[in-house]
Structure 1
């Protein structure tokens, strides 16, 4: 769904405040949850969105205008085909995204994000059984992998750097830092 569970957002916001990134790539922004939450904390951030479903851009007014700031640039594409420079950011957000990819593609995306030079990565995924198919004609909304906290911990352990995590009742969040 293009929406996001409130669980873990306060935790994520605290890490955002701590690091205060100046450049952010938000993969699969949907309705723009993270931009709405984080922008008021640090106004000078350049926000890039990578959204696979073009109708969401208009529906959720993701593109910044003179009167409203959301995303400074939007790329409409499957993140697996995005250019590496989009991941050379102070923060890359993969909020409620990795469950929409096969596990091997999700792991490859995380590895690629680190290799491209991301300083911080925020991941949020459901950690309870959450089957989901296509939503509103968007096949990218289907859940293709169910993550467990232990599985995600193992993936992050293989990336090096420092990791903080939060396990809620339905969502898990991980903040990776290049350290």
Structure 2
């Protein structure tokens, strides 16, 4: 779904406040959960969205306007096909996105993000069984992989850097930092 559980958001916000990134790419922003949460904390951040489902841009008001800015630039495309320069950022957010990809594609995307030069990565995924199919005509909402928290620990831990973890009742959150 284009929304996210509130679990782990306070934890993520604490890390955002600590790192205060100036450039962010939000992969699969849906309704813009993380931009809404983080933007008021640190003004002047350049926000990029990579959204695969074009109707969400209009439906959730993701496009910049004179009266309200959620994202400074939006790329309607599959994150697996996005140019590497969109991943050379202070922070990459994959908030409830990795479960929508086959495991091997999610791992390859995370590896590519690190290789492109990202300094921080925030990942949030359901860590309890959460089957889901198409939602509101969006086939990309289907869950293609059920992540286990230990598996995500291993994947992010294998990327080098430092990893902090939050394990909730429903969601797990990880903050990876290049060291």
Partner residue in 2 for 1:67: 67
Structure 2 CA distance for aligned equivalents of residues 140 and 75 of structure 1: 16
Structure 2 CA distance for aligned equivalents of residues 69 and 41 of structure 1: 14
Partner residue in 1 for 2:23: 23
Distance apart, 1:124 and its partner CA? 0.1
Ranges in structure 2 where 5+ consecutive residues have no aligned partner: none
Structure 1 CA distance for aligned equivalents of residues 34 and 114 of structure 2: 20
Distance apart, 1:69 and its partner CA? 1.2
Alignment TM-score, normalising by the size of structure 1: 0.99
Q: Is residue 120 from structure 1 mapped to residue 117 from structure 2 by the alignment? A: no
Q: How many aligned residue pairs are there?
A: 179
Alignment TM-score, normalising by the size of structure 2: 0.99
SS of 1:39's equivalent?
helix
Structure 2 CA distance for aligned equivalents of residues 78 and 138 of structure 1: 13
Instruction: Note the aligned Cα RMSD (angstroms).
Output: 0.4
Distance apart, 1:48 and its partner CA? 0.1
Deviations 1:79-133 (A, max 9, x none): 1100000000000000000000000000000000000000000000000000000
Partner residue in 2 for 1:81: 81
Distance apart, 1:66 and its partner CA? 1.1
Structure 2 CA distance for aligned equivalents of residues 152 and 29 of structure 1: 20
Which aligned segments of 4 or more residues in structure 1 are displaced greater than 3 angstroms?
none
